[in-house]
Amino acid sequence: MTDILLVLSTFPDAEKARQTGTLLVESQLAACVNLCPGVTSIYRWKGEIESSSEVLALFKTTRAQYPALELRLRELHPYEVPEILAIPAERAYEAYAQWVMDQTRS
């Protein structure tokens, strides 16, 4: 297992996802973010079934930076209850993992 985490979060539009991703990379909380537009989410919210078009953001960070990334993501996110899921990378190409660690050092 590596110290790399893949953090997933959905946003209501590409601009908000881009703004948030840029701020998290600039502050070295994430090494990079991939934005995947055109995601359709179907979910239950306040007792009703909802469907919305969203942008999925994939943040690459480290275990050490995760608490700060989560806190900042919650501050920046427009949703009342944002999706923030951290998935540990069981394996990662060593050079890439080192790059992520180098880019997220404060």
Domains by residue range for the chain, with CATH: 4-103 (3.30.70.120)
- 8-45: pLDDT as tens digits: 999 999 999 999 999 999 999 999 999 999 999 999 99
For residue 20, the model assigns a pLDDT of 98
Burial of 45-69, coded b for 16+ CB within 10 Å and e otherwise, reads: eeeeeeeeebbbbbbbbbeebbebb
**Tens digits of per-residue pLDDT, 52-91?**
999 999 999 999 999 999 999 999 999 999 999 999 999 9
Its pTM stands at 0.94
Res. 2 pLDDT band, cuts 50 70 90: confident
